[in-house]
Every structure is written in C-alpha cells, then in structure tokens.
Amino acid sequence: MPDQGSRPRRTWAVIVSGAMVWAGAVHADGLSLGGGGKLLLTGGVTQIEGAAGGGLTPWAVIGGYGTRDQVGANAFFTHARTGDYRFQAAGVLVGLYDRVELSYARQSFDTRAVGGALGLGDGFKFHVDVYGLKVKVAGDAVLEQDTWLPQIAVGAQYKKNDQGDIVRAVGAKRDSGTDFYIAATKLFLDQSLLLNGTLRATKANQLGILGFGGDKEDRYEPQFEGSAALLLRRDLAVGAEYRSKPNNLGIAKEDDWWDVFVAWAPTKNVSLTAAYVNLGNVVIRDDQKGLYLSLQIGF
C-alpha cells in the first residue's frame, strides 16, 4: 500500500496534466485564452487555499491573465517548512472573463515528529481539499486609476479534511466547513503600490487542518487579512501579509500569521514566490516560523 507522502505527488501530477488537457481543449474550441491584457504580477500569485492573491490571503483580482473576453488559468505548487512541520499545497484555478474564478487546491500538513508525540506516528499527515469560488462585483484594480473605488470581490471556500475522527478527538466539531470572504484591492500605478484588505467569516482551525469549530467556540467569526506589495520593477515585487485567526480549540491557542515575501515573474507564464512566514503556535509547538516557496504557471 503506498505511503501517505506519495499521494500529494500524484495529486500534483494529475492537476498539472488536467490543466494542460483543459487548456488544449479550450484552444481547440476557439475560445480566447489570456496572455496579453493584464500587467505582469497584477493578478497576484496563488494563495495556499487556491485563490488568486498573496500567499496567505485572497485578493479581489481574478486569477490568470484573461481579460473581459478571455479565459485564463493558473496551476501552482507551494512548499513551506517551519521548525516542526511541513506544509504543501497544489492546485489550479480558472478565471472566466475577468469576472469569475473557480479554484481547487489540495493541502498536505506533515506533523513530522510532533505526530509521534501526539500518538499518531511520526510523519502523520492531514489533507484538506479546498474548492473555491470568487466573483468580482465592482471596480477594476488596473484600469480604474482615476477613481477611489477599489476592485471588490466576494468569495467562498469549501474545505474537507480527510481525518474526521482525529480532528473531532482534539475538540473540533466537524471535518468540513465553508469560509466566506469579501476582498478589496487597489493598485496605485504611479506609486507602484498594491494594497488589499480581506474580511473572512470562518470556523476553520488552522485553515481547516484541525477541522472546524471547537470546544471553545463554534460560530462564524470575522477575521481580517491584509496585504501590501511594492513593484520594484515590472517583474519583481516585495511585500508583506497579515492574517488573523479564530481561536476555537482548547488544545492550543491559535496565533495570527504574517509573512514578508518577494515575487518574481521571469516570464508572463511563470512566477516564483519566496517568503519568510511566522505562524506562531501550531498545536503543541510554539514559534513556528520558516521559509515558504511557491511556483505558479499560467496564462
């Protein structure tokens, strides 16, 4: 029987292959693919739950380089390692006519030696499937430079954890849940500055890795997520993000997350993001910080 570690690799291969097949089918049907309408990096990268934005938080932008009469898409792979844990995510998104974004991501959380300390076994993994929908409802972050109105989008992310018995044993109420959010993104081209604010309603514990709801709280709570990015040149951006978190479980306090990042797009179809992330307490380990790397391929 294959070990747990082989499944994320197979999932990543299936995701990339599926994206290539889908892109070929769209092209064969005569639909217009993205590639020329959006400025480099203004569509963001792909965040760890599969939506276009920063690494930690979704923005109001629609993923891919498709404009109002085009279809765009991205595939991504992210790897992060802190002092005691390893996290990976892979997925795809499709942007439809710069209006609607559909996304899927599969997350893998490796407990490493902490799993042994908890009686689960060293290297025990939690997997979470995330299905996302985002709709732009107002504004245009790039084209509407002469107005104060930011681009605004609403979204939802349905998440399903594959370890229901374990997350309930640590106090979670359920192994699935849906986050809802509204995001506002404003690009100041003259200053080469992008600002984003996202308000999320969630019951997720550690993104859903430890289930949803808990022995302390089991209700939707608003959480703030913010991003700022400075375009140093057309293919290079630096910035920072902050993401507040609920605190539903009695087993351990859940801290807010933050990062500082650099994103580089050597071509319009490829971007690389590196970040230093600080996650605070995760389960029974404090001071979880480390490096985050992400590759995105799209059009």
Domain range summary for the chain, segments of one domain joined by +? 6-298
- Give how far the C-alpha of residue 259 lies from the chain's centroid of Cα atoms, to the nearest Å: 13
* pLDDT > 90? residue 212: yes
Tell me the pLDDT tens digit for each residue of 242-296: 999 999 999 888 999 999 999 999 998 999 999 999 999 888 788 899 999 999 9
Q: Is the predicted pLDDT of residue 2 greater than 70, yes or no?
A: no
**CB of 95 within 8 A of CB of 34?**
yes
Lowest mean pLDDT across 25-39, 51-65, 87-101: 25-39
Return the pLDDT at 132: 98
pTM of the model: 0.86
Looking at the chain, the whole-number percentage of residues with pLDDT higher than 70 is 88
**What pLDDT digit, counting tens, does each position of 225-236 carry?**
999 999 999 899
Residue 42: pLDDT over 80: no
Q: Which residue has the tokens 């064969």?
A: 28
Fold of the domain spanning 6-298: Porin (2.40.160)
Phi-psi region of 3 (alpha: psi -120 to 50; beta: other; left: phi over 0): beta
Measured distance CA(134)–CA(174) in Å, rounded: 24
